[in-house]
Amino acid sequence: MSNRFKIASVGDISLGDEYLRYGLGVRAKIEKHSVDYIFAAVADLLSHHDIVFGNLEGVLSAHNYVTKKLSSFVMRGKPQYAKGLKAAGFTVLSLANNHIMQHGRQAVFETRTALQNYGIHTCGLIDEGDIRLSVAGKGVCVGFLAYNNHPQQHFVDAPMYKKFSLQQAYNDIQRAKKDTDLVVVSLHWGDEFCPWPSDAQQIIAHKLIDSGADIILGHHPHVVQGVEVYRNGLICYSLGNFVFDLTWQPETTESFVLSVEYNIPRRKWSHNVIPIRINENFQPAPLHGLERTRALEHMASLSRALRRDGKVCTQRAQEAYETLVRKNTKLERRRSHLYWLSHVHRFPLPIIAQYLRDMVTRRWRKFAAGKGVRIPVLMYHEVTPDATKPVPYSPYAVSLSTFAAHMEYLHHNHYEPLSLEDLQKLECLEDGKLDKARKYVLITFDDGYLGNYKFAYPVLRQSGIKAILFVITDRIGTRNYLDWQQLREMSENGFEVLSHTLSHRDLELLPENTVREELGRSKQILEQTLGKAVDFVSYPQGSYNRQIESIAREVGYRGSFNSDVGFFNPRKRPFSIKRILIMQNHDLECFKKILQRDAFLWTRLKCKSYIKKTLRGLLGIELYGRIWLYFFKSHQTGFENEHPVSVHRESISAGPRSSS
C-alpha cells in the first residue's frame, strides 16, 4: 500500500454555452466533437491523482428546455456529458454556485443523478450530507464541504445549495474532522475578474483554517488569485476557469491545476501549481517552457501580494479594492460587447432579436430601478399601551392604537409585508420580475423592547404580517427587554430575529477589534441560541462607514440597515438599506403621507436628514450627541429620522444611549 495520495483541484467548469456564445461555445464544441475532446490535453495529468475536484457551473439536464430560446439554452449541458467528466478523472464536483439553479430545481436533481450514475460525487447541496471519500488502497478518508457565498442570482426559489455562514462552516468542519484525515472546503465567493481577494475574504479563510480546515478552494472570480500557506492549511483564493468560453477576456483563459500530495504516515501535505491555458477550442492544456515559467512567476507575484497581517483593511484600502472591481467589471463588459458585435452575423435572427430585447429590457429596468422602484422599510422601536404615558424623553414609542391603525391601513390597502428571505429574492431578480403594481413593505423593530411582544406581536399575528426584530444581545432578558423564550416564540411565528450589535454602542467611535466583537459576537449568540442564520444587522444610531461595512462582511453578514431616510431599492447595495423612522407623533394621516411620498413631507425629511448629517460631520459624533440630547430633553418634539443619543428608560443618569 502506497503511503501517499494526491488530490487535483481545478476551477470553474461550464459544459454549456455562455450567454453571448449561443451556438459558438463549449456546448457547440462538444456537440461537434465530444466531451473527451475538451479534456484531451489534461486527461493524462488528472489521471495521476487519486481524487479530482472541480466546480460544475451550470446544469446537465434537458428539463424545461425550449428550442431556440436564449434564456433556456445558456449554461446548460446534456446529462450524457457526465460520462465525459468521469472519463476525464473527476471524482467530486461542487454544485454550490450561482448558476446551478438557473434552470430550476428539477434540473439540479437531474444533474446530480446524471453525475452519480457515473460514480461522481457531488457536494454543496442542502439535502446531502458532508462528502467523505475513502481513497482506495490508501486507508485514508477525505471530507469535502462546499458553500456558495455569492448573492442569490438567476432564480427566485429557495436555494438548494448551502449558503455560507461562518458559524455553520465551523460546525461542519468540526464534525468532519472527527472521522476524516483531511478536510477540504470549497467556497464560491469573491468578485468577478479581480486578481486579488478582499481582506475580508482572507480573514474568513484564516478563520476556517483555524477551525480545522486543511485546504480551501475558491471559485467564481473567473481569474486566478494567489495561493497562501497559512499555519497548517493551504488556501487557494481562486482557481480561475478550467473549462469556460469567456475567451474574449484573456485573463479568464489563464488557470492552473492545484496538485496536493498527502504523506499519510507523517500526516503532512505538499502542493504544486501546474499552469494551464484554455485554448481557442475551449480545451484546458498544460503550459510548457517559457510560457510555464511566466505563468508561475505571475502566480508567485499574486501570492506575494496577499496581506500577511491578518487585519481588516482600512477604509481607503477597501475603497481602492472596490474601485479595482468596478474597473475590471467595466473592462470585461466592453470586451464582451465588442465580441458580440464582431460575431453577431453568426447568430440566427430569432436569437439576435432576443439579444436586442434583453438589452433594451435591462436598460429600461436599470432606469426604472433608479427612478421608480422603491420599497418602504418602516422602522419602529416600541409599541406601548394607550393608557400608559409616553416614555420619558422618547418620541419613539408608538401607542398601540396608532400602531394597529398603521397595520390595518397596510392590510386593507394590499401592501405585501416582506421577510428578509423575500427581500433577498427581490435583490437577485436579474430577470427583473419586480411588479410595480404590487406594493411591498418591510416592517422592522429596533432594540428588542418588551412592549413589542406584549402589544405589537398580537396585532401582527392577527393580521398575518411579517416583521423583523433587531435585538441588542447584551440586553436580552433585562428589564423592559425581551427574553430568550419570547424571542424563540416570535422567531417561530413570523418574526425574523436579527442583530442590533452586542451592546448598542456607536460603532464609529470604537476601535476595529471592538467593532468586530460587537458585530460578530452578537451574530454568533443569536445563531447559537435560536438556531437560525443571522445575515443582517442594524447599525446603532445608523452610524457606519465603509470600514464598518467591511468588518460586517468579514464576520458573515450579507447586508445591513441604517437610519438614513429613504426607500429601499432592491437593485442597490444591501449594505446601505435606508429606512423610514415611525415616531410617536405619526398618526394615521401622517403615515399615509409617508407611504404615498407626499412631496412636502419628504422634502422636509430629506432636508432635516441632510442638516443632521452635515452637523454630525462638522461637530463630531460626541459633541453632536451632547447637543442633541440637550435639546431633546428640553423639547421632546420633532420630526427627526434618527437620534444619536437617547436616555435609558431606567435611569436618566445612566448616560447617553441610542435607541435606534
232-285 confidence digits (pLDDT tens): 899 999 999 999 999 999 999 999 999 999 988 888 889 999 999 999 999 999
* Crossing angle of the two packed helices 315-343 and 546-554, in degrees rounded to 10: 80
**49 has pLDDT over 90:** yes
DSSP, residue by residue, 370-413:
HHT--B-EEEE-EEE-TTSPPPTT-TTEEEHHHHHHHHHHHHHT
Measuring CA to CA, which residue among 414, 419, 422 is closest to residue 438?
414
All three cell numbers of 4, joined, read 501517499
Cα 641 to Cα 505, 609, 638, 647, distances in angstroms: 18, 7, 9, 17
DSSP structure class, residue 250: G
357: Cβ contacts below 8 Å, ≥ 6 apart? none
**314 has pLDDT over 80:** no
Query: For residue 316, what pLDDT is reported?
Result: 53
- Residue 659's pLDDT band, with cuts at 50, 70 and 90, is very low
Write the pLDDT tens digit of every residue in 79-132. 999 999 999 999 999 999 999 999 999 999 999 999 999 999 999 999 887 778
DSSP strand pairing (254-263 vs 131-135): unpaired
**Residue holding cell 449561443?**
22
DSSP strand pairing (646-647 vs 467-471): unpaired
Q: Which of 214-223, 479-488, 567-576 has the highest mean pLDDT?
A: 214-223
pTM: 0.67
Tell me the C-alpha distance between 437 and 422, whole Å: 17
Give start-end residues of each CATH 3.20.20.370 domain in the chain.
Answer: 376-597
Query: For residue 431, what pLDDT is reported?
Result: 37
Cross-strand partners of 51: 7
Residue 375 near residue 418 (C-beta atoms within 8 A): yes
CA dihedral angle for residue 565, residue 566, residue 567, residue 568, rounded to 10 degrees = -70
Which CATH superfamily is 4-343 part of? Metallo-dependent phosphatases (3.60.21.10)
What is residue 420's three-state secondary structure? helix
**Residue holding cell 462582511?**
553
- Residue 424's pLDDT band, with cuts at 50, 70 and 90, is low
623: Cβ contacts below 8 Å, ≥ 6 apart? none
Tell me the C-alpha distance between 319 and 134, whole Å: 45
Residue 249 near residue 219 (C-beta atoms within 8 A): no
Tell me the C-alpha distance between 202 and 309, whole Å: 10
Tell me the C-alpha distance between 444 and 375, whole Å: 13
- Angle at Cα 94 formed by Cα 153 and Cα 14, nearest 5°? 65
**212: phi > 0 → left, psi -120 to 50 → alpha, else beta; which?**
left
151: Cβ contacts below 8 Å, ≥ 6 apart? 98, 424, 427, 428, 558, 574
Q: Which residue has the higher pLDDT, 146 or 319?
A: 146
Lowest model confidence (mean pLDDT) among 284-293, 301-310, 461-470: 301-310
Tell me the C-alpha distance between 91 and 100, whole Å: 18
Write the pLDDT tens digit of every residue in 356-393. 988 887 776 665 554 445 788 999 998 988 754 544 44
**427 has pLDDT over 70:** no
All three cell numbers of 178, joined, read 472527527
Query: For residue 363, what pLDDT is reported?
Result: 74
**167 has pLDDT over 50:** yes
**648 has pLDDT over 50:** no
- pLDDT mean over 544-566: 84
- pLDDT mean over 416-435: 60
**647 has pLDDT over 50:** no
Query: For residue 347, what pLDDT is reported?
Result: 94
- pLDDT mean over 407-427: 78
Q: Which residue has the higher pLDDT, 235 or 588?
A: 235
- pLDDT mean over 479-494: 90
* Crossing angle of the two packed helices 599-619 and 621-635, in degrees rounded to 10: 130
297: Cβ contacts below 8 Å, ≥ 6 apart? none
The letter for the amino acid at 489 is E
**Residue holding cell 475558491?**
218
Lowest model confidence (mean pLDDT) among 115-119, 230-234, 392-396, 604-608: 392-396
Tell me the C-alpha distance between 355 and 363, whole Å: 12
Residue ranges of alpha helices (H) inside 10-151 are 26-32, 35-38, 43-47, 70-73, 81-88, 105-117
CATH class for the region spanning 376-597: alpha beta
Torsion 522-527-530-536 (CA) sign: positive
Measuring CA to CA, which residue among 486, 468, 466, 490 is closest to residue 477?
486
Count Cα atoms within 13 angstroms, Cβ side, for 328. Answer: 19
- Angle at Cα 154 formed by Cα 148 and Cα 155, nearest 5°? 90
- Residue 289's pLDDT band, with cuts at 50, 70 and 90, is very high
All three cell numbers of 131, joined, read 462528502
Query: For residue 138, what pLDDT is reported?
Result: 77
Give start-end residues of each CATH 3.60.21.10 domain in the chain.
Answer: 4-343
